[in-house]
Structure 1
Amino acid sequence: MDITIHYAFLPHTDAEAALGFYRDLLGFEVRNDVGYEDMRWITVGPVGQPGTSIVLQPPAIDPGITAEERETILNLIAKGVYGGVTLASDDLDGLFERLQAGGADVVQEPTDQDYGVRDCAFRDPAGNLIRVNQID
């Protein structure tokens, strides 16, 4: 039996800013863009890897969430502690330079970690923490 990760979900607070980041800076392809009322769900993923996607979704849309709970969730998103994802690249330094030149919010420059990984980190426009590991 094979098990894979098909979708990961991250909140977005501005659909156009999210597209600018994931599509234009990271180079992901847009696989789906669905709107309902004033909300949008955008599915993106790496070119050539149709089985792995990130769904960018409106935050705190559950009707049972109070205004106070929604505000708490939005604050956690902005701080980068609500959701996150780790990507991998065979050219970490090149990707970092492209993201930095594109105005991405840098959290950590490429670093050789004590636990054996070379990585960097930044935040997407909503504040989600995005880490990138170097792969060979």
Structure 2
Amino acid sequence: MKLGFTILFARDLGPLKAFYKDAVGFRAGAEYPEWVEFDTGPAKLALHQAGPDDPETRGVGLFFTVDNVDALVRRLAERGLEPQTAPVDQDFGFRTVAYTDPLGNRVEFGEPLAP
């Protein structure tokens, strides 16, 4: 089984779309007033307009694998983003760095460490 989408629900898609498209640099795919998809590889990230009775967020955490965490941190800093944590080598075999999106969701990027 493979993850097809991670969906973030929000009343205002504008700040989230700007974060993932303009700041992080993901390429947008299908875009509708209540739905935006980003091509993130085999699994897609989707933003969905929340209804008036839906919570602003569902506390989603995201993890993306990247080739070079330190290069990513430099690129995101050029776009005005500062990490929540400094890059660190983790016991589970990844060098990671964490950011927070406009809704407070944790967005973590990980580079596989050499065996």
Please classify the TM superposition score into its range, dividing by the shorter chain length: 0.7 to 0.9
Q: Per residue, is there more helix in 1 or in 2?
A: 1
Does structure 1 conserve the Cα–Cα contact (< 8 Å) formed by 2:23 and 2:80? no
Q: What secondary structure is seen at the aligned counterpart in 1 of 2:14?
A: helix
Q: Structure 2 regions of 5+ residues with no counterpart?
A: none
Query: Match of 1:28?
Result: 26
Does structure 1 conserve the Cα–Cα contact (< 8 Å) formed by 2:7 and 2:48? yes
Deviations 1:31-57 (A, max 9, x none): 11112xxxx2111123xx3x4211112
Inter-partner Cα distance in structure 2 for 1:82 and 1:105: 20
The structure number with the bigger radius of gyration is: 1
- The alignment of Structure 1 onto Structure 2 pairs a total of residues equal to 113
2:59 corresponds to 1:87: no
Does structure 2 conserve the Cα–Cα contact (< 8 Å) formed by 1:96 and 1:109? no
Alignment CA distance shift 1:13-1:101 (3 Å): farther
Inter-partner Cα distance in structure 2 for 1:7 and 1:41: 12
TM superposition score normalised by structure 1: 0.69
The 10-residue stretch of structure 1 (85-94 or 23-32) with the greater mean CA deviation from structure 2: 23-32
Query: Match of 2:3?
Result: 5
RMSD over aligned Cα atoms: 2.3
- Percent sequence identity is 25
TM superposition score normalised by structure 2: 0.80
Does structure 1 conserve the Cα–Cα contact (< 8 Å) formed by 2:98 and 2:109? yes
Amino acid at match of 2:37: T
